[in-house]
Amino acid sequence: MGIYLPNMEMPNNCQECVCINDEYFYCQAVNRKPKDENIISRRPDWCPLAEVPTPHGRLIDADELQRQFERMANEEWNKNIAVSAASCFDDAAVIVEDAPTIIEAEEGD
């Protein structure tokens, strides 16, 4: 599991990062000490932070969505070839709409 910090800017290096422990100077996110050159020059390759582009729409679990589509295709669509493409798209739209939200949509500036 991870955390999402909305409105936080991606740090350029370890010194700017909220994950750094100032007293012992190690990354609290991965319990690891950065090399001296990463302190002010850049983020290390092992940095766990990932940038979420903004603005963005509602973010959902695409893997779970794919599993639901596969179940729908295997259980219903393949058993009844007479199902129209429009009906399949309607079913897919409902699955996407009902997919659990991981991160709420963010409006643009």
Looking at the fold, whether 27 and 63 belong to one and the same domain comes out as no
Domain that holds residue 44: 1-51
Looking at the fold, whether 65 and 47 belong to one and the same domain comes out as no
Angle at which helices 85-98 and 62-72 cross, to 10°: 140
Looking at the fold, whether 5 and 43 belong to one and the same domain comes out as yes
Q: How far is CA 4 from the centre of its chain?
A: 9
Domain for residue 4, yes or no? yes
Q: Which of 73, 76, 68, 71 is nearest to 94 (CA)?
A: 68
pTM exceeds 0.85: no
Question: What does the pLDDT look like over 24-75, one tens digit per residue?
Answer: 888 998 888 887 766 778 888 889 898 888 888 888 888 888 888 777 766 6
* Percent of the chain whose pLDDT exceeds 90: 4
Cα–Cα distances (Å) from 59 to 48, 99, 102, in that order, read: 19, 10, 6
Rounded to a whole number of angstroms, the distance between the first and last alpha carbons of the chain is 29
